[in-house]
Chain A
Amino acid sequence: MTWEPLWLSFQIATLATLLTLVVGIGLALLLQWRRLPARDFVDAVISAPLVLPPTVLGYYLLVALGSEGAIGRAWESLFGRTIVFNFEGAVIAAAVGSIPLVVRSIRLGLESIDPTLLNAARTLGAGPVRILFTIVLPLAAPGIVAGAMMGFARALGDYGATQMVIGSRIKGMPTASIYVMEQLHGGNDDRVFWMAVATTLLGVTMLFFANRMTRRLHYHRG
């Protein structure tokens, strides 16, 4: 029994979470902007990974990130390696799958902010960037943390899109969810059981601490 697939999934989920946080905060702020053209359409596109079959999402990623796609070509010319069939591809696949959850949670955090506080900050001499870092992000922190943790849990268990993008292994190692499927097909029930238990424990532990941290942040924001 090896635990390396779980460690690999943990690394992928951690990096995917960081990526979705940066992109998710940007997208959530964009969607909060009332004058955004075609806001409902943009919202629907961002939320699409929630409703698309994972294989379809994986197919789109394969097309966009593969050697024939603009992003894939640019990446290859910059770093001399492909995104697909590599660790980076797994991170992007996991991030794209979890982005709707992260954006929704951050938006809830942003919507909970009393707009008068933003006006008060403006009258106290704060420009947009200062308001973002001193008022908006601290007050939306519970939503951001909750979103990050849900995104992490989602990324940890990604199967379909990841398999479409990396195949079955990264440098000979499957992710935890692919490992479970492989061992199931191989009839190794014990390995399947223990990997399932470990993955569940890791996910539930993360969500438990996320709940505690969210409550504490709610308290600290007043």
Chain B
Amino acid sequence: MADPYRTPPAPGASPTLVAELRLARGEFVLDVELACPAGITCVMGPSGSGKSTILSLLAGLALPDRGRVQLGDEVWLEHKTGQASINVATHERRLAYVFQGLALFPHMSALGNVEYGMGHIQRVDRQPKALALLERLGVAHLAHRRPRTFSGGEAQRVALARAIARSPQLVLLDEPFSALDRDLRAQLTALVRELVAELAIPMVHVTHSVAEARQLADQVVRVERGHVVSRGTATEVLTGITSLEE
């Protein structure tokens, strides 16, 4: 099916995310290296292990003490102790971030939420493209409704549509499905898988759920107390593991 909202990437153009991040806050020390090619990288670990902090640092919402973030040829952050030599502002990083609470704008309709990230598209084209995206995610009927009227699953779909509308080069998901029941979670993870395959970009997906990681991940990175303890395919990393909570 022709993709209504995105020019397909040229073959071989899929960027890889490479990141080195170091941050010390009191007793907590985060020190991780990531290499995320196109596809889904699930970052897993118990609560407080630093998973969400990694996403904030990748997005530029927080600054590490030291680190580097590069997507393909674009360096977003080059920060050595002291001053940042390169620090591309969050709004200039071509990424999409689906927050744990989704963070849909409550004063805008679903359409308004999706159009918000379409600053790169001519104004006249935004609405048809946003509607096409909502249709694709099965929530076109919500186009003119506000988020307070959405069910949990509907809100997730609108949040995904809003993220994809930005035509991102990197997608960050912070446990967006954690509050959903198993069936809905399975539906949405399948949808995410499909979207990422089409977009051919890296997606970093933070999750607690071993089942979700098995279903989604091309790569699993296990983080404990701010450090990567293992990485590989889901089979390599998660065999014999049913839960990551300590």
Interface residues of A (CB under 8 A from B): 114, 116-117, 119-127, 134-135, 138-139, 220-222
Chain A: minimal CB distance from B66 (Å): 22
- Whether A138 pairs with B107 at a CB distance below 8 angstroms is yes
Quick check: A123 and B146 within 8 Å, CB to CB? no
B162:A122 contact, CB within 8 angstroms: no
Q: Mark B139-173, 1 if CB is under 8 A from A, else 0.
A: 00000001110000000000000100010000010
Contact partner of B103 (CB less than 8 A), chosen from A119, A139, A221, is A119
Contact of B162 among A114, A124, A127 (CB under 8 A): A124
- Inter-chain contact A139/B162, CB cutoff 8 Å: no
Given contacts A114-B101, A122-B61, A222-B106, 15 further A-B contacts (CB under 8 A): A119-B99, A120-B99, A120-B103, A120-B105, A122-B60, A122-B89, A122-B91, A124-B119, A124-B162, A125-B92, A134-B116, A138-B107, A221-B106, A222-B146, A222-B147
Residue of A123, A125, A126 ringed by the most chain B CB atoms within 10 A: A123
Once bound together, how far apart are the Cα atoms of A107 and B133, in whole Å? 37
With CB as the reference atom, state the residue of chain A lying closest to B112: A134
B116 touches A126 (CB 8 A): yes
Q: Is the CB of B107 within 8 A of A125?
A: no
When the two chains form their complex, are residues B105 and A117 in contact, meaning their CB atoms are under 8 A apart?
yes
Per a CB cutoff under 8 Å, which of A119, A127, A138, A221 touches B61? A119
B59 within 8 A of A: yes
* A127 to B106 CA separation, bound complex (whole angstroms): 19
Q: Name the A residues within 8 Å of B59 (CB-CB).
A: 119, 122-123
CB < 8 Å neighbour of A124 from B89, B117, B147, B148: B117
Q: In the complex, which residues of chain B have a beta carbon less than 8 angstroms from the beta carbon of A127?
A: 89, 91
User: In the complex, A220 Cα to B119 Cα: how many Å?
Assistant: 24
- Write out the residue numbers on chain B whose beta carbons fall within 8 Å of the beta carbon of A119: 59, 61, 90, 97, 99, 103
Chain A nearest CB from B5 CB (Å) reads 15
Q: Say whether B216 faces chain A, with CB atoms less than 8 Å apart.
A: no
Task: Please indicate the chain A residues that have their CB under 8 angstroms from the CB of B104 in the complex.
Answer: 120
Q: Tell me the chain B residues, 63-115 only, with Cβ under 8 Å from chain A.
A: 89-93, 95-97, 99, 101, 103-107
> Complex formed: what's the CA distance from A50 to B91 in Å?
40
Q: How far is the CA of A147 from the CA of B95 in the complex (A)?
A: 37
Interface residues on B, range: 20 to 34
Within 8 A of A (CB), among B16-52: none
Which of B59, B60, B107 has the largest number of chain A CB atoms within 10 A?
A: B107
Closest to B174 in A: A116
Closest 3 CB pairs of A and B: A222-B106, A124-B117, A120-B103
Q: Which residues of A contact B95 (CB under 8 A)?
A: 123
CB of B120 closer than 8 Å to a CB of A: yes
- A124 B107 Cβ-Cβ under 8 A: no
Tell whether, in the assembled complex, residue B96 and residue A221 are in contact, meaning their CB atoms are under 8 Å apart.
no
Q: Bound complex: CA of A220 vs CA of B147, how far in Å? A: 11
Point out the residues of chain A lying under 8 angstroms from B96, CB to CB: 123-124
Our pick among A122, A134, A221 for the contact of B90 (Cβ within 8 Å) is: A122
Report yes or no: A116 in contact with B166, Cβ–Cβ below 8 A: no
Q: A119-B99, A222-B148 are in contact. Are A124 and B116 (CB under 8 A)?
A: yes
Is the CB–CB distance between B103 and A117 below 8 Å? Answer: yes
State A134–B101 Cα separation when bound (angstroms): 20
A113 to B92, CA, bound (A): 23
Give the distance in Å from the alpha carbon of A184 to the alpha carbon of B41 in the complex: 79
B72 to chain A, nearest CB (A): 18
Docked complex Cα distance between A149 and B132 (Å): 43
How far is it, in angstroms, between the C-alpha of A116 and the C-alpha of B147 when the chains are bound? 15
Query: What residues of chain A lie closer than 8 Å to B147, measured between beta carbons?
Result: 222
Q: Which residues on B sit within 8 Å (CB–CB) of A135?
A: 105
Residues in A neighbouring B99, C-beta threshold 8 A: 116, 119-120
Q: Once bound together, how far apart are the Cα atoms of A187 and B32, in whole Å?
A: 82
Cα separation A170 to B165 with both chains bound (whole Å): 59
B95 nearest in chain A by CB position: A123
Which residue of chain B is the closest to A141 with respect to CB atoms?
B107
Contacts of B148 in A (CB 8 A): 222
Which residues of B are found within 8 Å of A117, using beta-carbon distances? 103, 105-106
- List 16 interface pairs A-B (beta carbons < 8 Å), by A numbering: A116-B99, A117-B103, A119-B97, A120-B103, A120-B104, A120-B105, A121-B116, A123-B93, A125-B117, A126-B91, A126-B116, A126-B119, A134-B116, A139-B106, A220-B107, A221-B106
